[in-house]
Structure 1
């Protein structure tokens, strides 16, 4: 007698005989039978081991597959349950529940509508049934959207699987934005009514291309990032966001920055490998904006522990972000004395969005003014949406090897075009910005080749180059502002503490000295320099002073310089600042060292 048959030797289980037996599902262990109505019966014998009876165990169910995550752990058993109304439910049963008396298992299946024998031994028999059931099918499980299983499958936030179907989406808990990944109308509708509006509108075309570009990040190894559309109220930046969001879903797919105050990780996970749209930067505090932008750029949530104290793997993502606001992220952080790190500024490129001929638009496509065009674009994207993104994924999946070859070539070609148009772009942050827009251009061109946009293949590149020019021009102004702010902080510090700088000729100095001075320079000790730029990056501030010609660099890559001989007892390093900084209104322009 098999192990299962031994487990079924119990006369106290309900002894109602089974009706005519139907065919046995594949993989069902011995010792169990299926009634004509699909109910499961267990073969039992009496205490003497003589009489054998089939008794009711549970209403119709079957084991469809065994599943595990992409790391090969957290195994689950996928059970199909038929409820009393005849509806079928799929239940993920963690394999850790297939032990003991099956109390948790009974509750889990009962919630899906399963009827299980009320005898106390039935739980143990049910555990043994599912434990010994050996289906051939194997699945991968994932609790996040985006790419999975070596980019063989793609999961939309709504749970739709594109590509290989051996994937089980278990992330029904994702943020509500996931449910907005739904479609309306056909791809022809979207192409003709929405995509066509991008022609002649560089900001809109690049934003829509950005929505496609999120798909390319993981399979091609690019980093995530995005654009921040900065401009006055009602200039059209929100309309551009709505149009970009329509690549993936309804207008509800576009969120506000306030929505990130809580649940940011779930929102980012729901938008993984696609686009996260965040409107109205002003609605979030500077502190929350700092934390949110850092977390989005980092692509990883916080580590947490479960109820047993074990560390739960944090959510992670790689996506594109399309933000908007009346001020830049750097200006937002400055509201609370924070300073945007260089990585933040490059991950989210600040783009002036209200200086085109009609606010954020260049072409009105027959509408009488910018307001009417904006209303029309919003109406079309609300009516037709959610088709282009999934079809772009399908196109990439079908031609993944080609994309891996073509996209890097398109990015390289864009870089050369950028150099031809704007000159040398060797600066590291500038190169990263160029690559971000190059990927957008490549994604827009691919989407066009797939027949999704209706654009000319050259148009995404030209639009991206136009936006790069806007960013470069704005960056020059931002850098000037940063340099002026660093100069002013240093000037104010020196004026307020002039008495605490010892004359260079003095042998002994007071204990609270911040440094030395002579007729030409202030020599500011490193700790005092940090104090002068409290709340800001002191190294970055030093570079600003050097760019303004007011700091004399040390040798090599050193910003602080060794003290001249005769100053101090030891030749330590100090930040050497020209005394002409004290002249009010001194322009922050490069000077000869």
Structure 2
């Protein structure tokens, strides 16, 4: 090897035949389980950029090593193509001896028992770590982990524009939350900014995404136009960091139903190899920032009458009103700019040139005092929940509050690390304001299944009451009615037959509550005063239907007088 490149010299006194441009060999690397032995090398391309390549020894065993050559050539390394040069180049790589050993990782996030954090753009290790170096190897360039600019400029010209902007401050806090998930033992989750088109939602994605990278059409963000299977790879590529997804309406409802669990559940689908053995499941922990003109429940409902958001989805996938209420869309103010459009343009332009520096800085500071930082974050989360969740609130509200508290804790750590240019308490205040807004929008701190049960039955009666309920006293008189798919019966009221209670038979009640637990739904209706239980406390009661006794769910007609609250 010389400054020109790698040469082959058949005879000591003969001419050298160059096989490639110059490169440096750094280490032999392999995975934690001892497989995937590879050679780590680097070189400079024609633009003088350093390119790092991990060459598997298995790929060198195939004679000309065509895949290896294609990869190196595509990165900018000159390779000779004359007769014999291909084989000699592969033989030279296979014969290199190097003492240094490294560990290959193919997934973003924490490694080495929490002492190393790796993504495609950088690797950070705990101080005084004596273990082997980490080499990141993955085809995750589409994840846009890239670095441009410097932290001081990002802090002063990008993050500073978010000050006093509740939704932007919260988005920045969320951007730093990913690396805290694993050490806190916290579950991932998604926040979806819901608002009208051109309200500034995508600006929040660009800003939060600039913590970790950029350079794509949406900066670090990507589109919701995907499938449930593809979202697994996307989530894994952003493990322990942030995933930004734009415009919820672009994903099909059937895929969204699965994606809402996939993104926050942390585990991919079980799949088989060609030999029938099971592949290892893909796993991840990720914080998600999403945008959409509609929320999760509405998008799912567009997929059909039987597709609706479950309580578990609503806990993991939290809709947040994107409108700050100042008449400026997402923004609380426009600062020195002429209007919200000018502010959005400034953030778009600045994040295009300043991105990917804050995330590495946050992780490095975290590694310098990880135990203390995690204790601080845990205490901050507990204080947030204690302040914002009243006694008697449902477990669902507590879990969502913990997720808001995680964002607050991450933002306060980033502030303490001098990465965010805010005063202490700024991100906590923003998280508190958005959490209170979320509680108001869901109708309080009770279990959402209770509200869902009442709403489902009310909507069912509003849609089908006249057509699918027949008079109880004429139920067995076939000449008196022509109803199809009868869901139950209507009792004669005190004044007219139209103001009586509804008597659901079991299948009609199951259809009305649309997949909710039957016992829990009946209890919720009874608690709200809309279901009359049996004198012994049973959920169904005996009523006279067509002159005969029948056990039914008796729902008061007063349920139609209520509202969504």
TM range, smaller chain: 0.7 to 0.9
1:353 aligns with 2:322: yes
**Structure-1 separation of matches of 2:181 and 2:505:** 45
Deviations 1:250-286 (A, max 9, x none): 2421122114577322221221111111121222222
1:238 alignment partner in structure 2: 202
**Structure-2 separation of matches of 1:399 and 1:162:** 13
2:151 alignment partner in structure 1: 187
**Structure-1 separation of matches of 2:256 and 2:564:** 32
Give the total of aligned pairs.
Answer: 516
TM-score normalised by structure 2 residue count: 0.77
User: Which of 160, 171, 184 lines up with 2:122 in the alignment?
Assistant: 160
**Structure-1 separation of matches of 2:393 and 2:89:** 68
* Alpha-carbon shift at residue 442 of structure 1 (Å): 0.6
Question: 2:268, 2:281 within 8 Å by CA — same for their partners in 1?
Answer: yes
Question: 1:155, 1:161 within 8 Å by CA — same for their partners in 2?
Answer: yes
2:539 alignment partner in structure 1: 561
2:388 alignment partner in structure 1: 418
User: Which of 20, 32, 37 lines up with 1:76 in the alignment?
Assistant: 37
2:212 alignment partner in structure 1: 248
1:288 aligns with 2:288: no
* Alpha-carbon shift at residue 514 of structure 1 (Å): 6.7
Question: 1:256, 1:278 within 8 Å by CA — same for their partners in 2?
Answer: yes
SS of equivalent to 2:199: coil
For structure 2, the residue ranges without an aligned partner over 5 or more in a row are 1-8, 73-78, 127-131, 478-484, 493-499
**Structure-1 separation of matches of 2:515 and 2:386:** 39
1:146 aligns with 2:113: no
**Structure-1 separation of matches of 2:455 and 2:91:** 77
What does 1:86-485 correspond to in 2, within 5 Å? 90-93=53-56, 102-103=61-62, 137-156=100-119, 158-163=120-125, 166-172=133-139, 174=140, 176=142, 178=143, 180-250=144-214, 251-259=218-226, 263-336=230-303, 337=305, 338-357=307-326, 358-419=328-389, 423-424=390-391, 426-476=393-443, 483-485=454-456
1:488 aligns with 2:459: yes
SS of equivalent to 1:258: coil
Q: Give the 3 Å change call, closer, same or farther, for CA 36–166 of structure 1 in structure 2.
A: farther
* Alpha-carbon shift at residue 538 of structure 1 (Å): 5.2
* Alpha-carbon shift at residue 533 of structure 1 (Å): 4.0
**Structure-1 separation of matches of 2:190 and 2:282:** 20
* Alpha-carbon shift at residue 321 of structure 1 (Å): 0.8
**Structure-2 separation of matches of 1:539 and 1:567:** 23
Question: 2:202, 2:246 within 8 Å by CA — same for their partners in 1?
Answer: yes
Q: Give the 3 Å change call, closer, same or farther, for CA 116–577 of structure 1 in structure 2.
A: farther
Q: Which of the pair has more CA radius of gyration?
A: 1
* Alpha-carbon shift at residue 64 of structure 1 (Å): 3.1
Deviations 1:418-468 (A, max 9, x none): 24xxx4462111111111111111101100111101111111111111111
* Alpha-carbon shift at residue 296 of structure 1 (Å): 0.7
SS of equivalent to 2:355: coil
Q: Give the 3 Å change call, closer, same or farther, for CA 335–122 of structure 1 in structure 2.
A: closer
SS of equivalent to 1:296: helix
* Alpha-carbon shift at residue 310 of structure 1 (Å): 3.5
**Structure-2 separation of matches of 1:462 and 1:94:** 54
**Structure-2 separation of matches of 1:141 and 1:125:** 23
Question: 2:190, 2:317 within 8 Å by CA — same for their partners in 1?
Answer: yes
**Structure-1 separation of matches of 2:347 and 2:171:** 14
Greater Cα offset, 483-492 or 432-441:
483-492
**Structure-2 separation of matches of 1:204 and 1:522:** 49
